[in-house]
A and B are shown apart, each in its own frame.
Chain A
Amino acid sequence: MKYNFTVSPDFPPERIASWYIFNTWLQKKLDIAVHLELHNNFKELQASIDNDAVDIIYTNPFEAAGLVRDKGFMPVATPQGISDEAVIVVAADSDVDKVEDLKPGVKVALTDDQDVNMISMMMLEPAELNKDNIELSNQDNYVLVAKQLMNKKADVGFFYKAAYDELSGMIKSQLKPLVTSEISVIKHMFLVSPRFKEHHAALQEALVTMSDDDKGKQIVTDLGFEAWDKQTQEETEFMIDLMDTLK
């Protein structure tokens, strides 16, 4: 039996090769066949989830919520030392210096990353902005969100902090962050489908001990973090509860 593995499309493009290397490691470690399929956007990812074509996934808690509550996915691990945070950004020469300066009617550039969008919408609440009194401009990626701000086609941009940090210095010099979330408890997760159940324990053990040897450690570092921590069902349920409070 061949399993399907995917990663939510919110990682920097430079990491694509690292995920393929991770997948090779995974297949050797568990002695199973795994096909890695990466999607260009969340819509494509959702279609593949709807077709039950995903057995193993690394994704944000917004997507994980549906997988756990509706499709019986089981949590395996979470990355150590990094959390999902969002940044609200305007053009460097904008008159706006804080969220409270934003007025109804502002045009917001954003991607289809609902995890980031939800955290960002929450950070606009102090200005009494909500989806009914702002204009949304959907973009395919964060570089395009930045360009919308630089070209004055949008007033505000929503960024995944990890993606904002990786923008070039040239782009960042033309932007001004207003507020960055410091939530700490919202994290990406590694999950598996009920079809993968027989390998769940072996996978969890392999991930949690992955950084104990140099080779494993290097692969994890290339993915952008230090190690995997075990993620329990209750920790996952609680993170999903937290996401519910932000909706």
Chain B
Amino acid sequence: MADMKKQDIVGDFKEYTLSLYDGSEKTVYVTEVETPFPEGKLIVSRTDTSGVITHCNDAFVFMSGYQEDELIGQPHSILRHPDIPKAAFKDAWDTINNKQKWNGYIKNLRKDGGFYWTFATIIPNIRNGEIVGYASVRRKPAMNKVEQAKALYQKMLAEEP
């Protein structure tokens, strides 16, 4: 996956290197600018069985800061924020591969380096008993829950090898 571009970033940023599940690395630039969750909306995306984005709705495109054609065909980790520990995503993948629904609080990284918090649900799309893809629906999180998630993720990151 391509690195982020410094000219897209709005505001002061810090640089991080993410190591992705497929063994590759990606440089990201992160600011402290938060975009509030749009009232009453749901952010929806679908992926194939490997987590490559196949569909996304208007709210998804808007919140990510990308254009739709920059998202379709990209791995979902295009939105990965360095504040979310690897173990959270491993838990999500283990759960959905087991044909179960996963819920969690996720901080996503925007194209401009800013972030947004969501309460995310990921489910497998099961047709005739087979997983044919995945879908995720994100909604507005409770602030207290986000604070708890932040504390937990900081602890998990500190303990990461």
A interface, CB within 8 angstroms of B: 100, 122-123, 125-128, 179-185, 234, 237-238, 241-242, 244-246
Contacts and interface: CB of A to CB of B under 8 A. Distances in A.
Contacts of B139: 122, 125
Interface stretch (B36-44, B70-78, B80-88): B36-44
Main secondary structure of the interface of B (DSSP, over half): mixed
Interface residues of B, number: 25
Contacts of A180: 40
Nearest to A180: B40
Contacts, number: 55
Q: Which of B40, B123, B139 has the most CB of A within 10 A?
A: B40
Given A180-B40, A244-B101, A125 B140 contact: yes
23 contacts: A123-B40, A125-B142, A126-B143, A127-B142, A128-B142, A128-B144, A179-B39, A181-B40, A182-B38, A182-B40, A183-B40, A184-B57, A184-B58, A185-B42, A237-B127, A238-B135, A241-B125, A241-B135, A242-B135, A244-B123, A245-B121, A246-B121, A246-B137
A125 B40 contact: no
A184 to B, nearest CB: 7
A241 B142 contact: no
B145 interface: yes
Given A180-B40, A183-B41, A184-B57, A126 B142 contact: yes
Interface in B8-46: 38-42, 44, 46
A234 B125 CA distance: 10
Q: Which of A126, A128, A246 has the most CB of B within 10 A?
A: A126
A93 B144 CA distance: 28
Interface in B108-134: 119, 121, 123, 125, 127
Contacts of B143: 100, 126
Nearest to B39: A179
A245 B40 contact: no
Contacts of A242: 44, 135, 137
A179 B125 contact: no
A233 to B, nearest CB: 9
Contacts of A128: 142, 144-145
Contacts of B38: 182
A180 B39 CA distance: 8
A126 B143 CA distance: 7
A185 to B, nearest CB: 7
Given A241-B135, A242-B135, A126 B57 contact: no
B51 interface: no
Given A125-B140, A184-B57, 15 more contacts: A100-B143, A125-B142, A127-B142, A128-B144, A128-B145, A179-B39, A181-B41, A185-B57, A237-B127, A242-B44, A244-B101, A244-B123, A245-B101, A245-B135, A246-B137
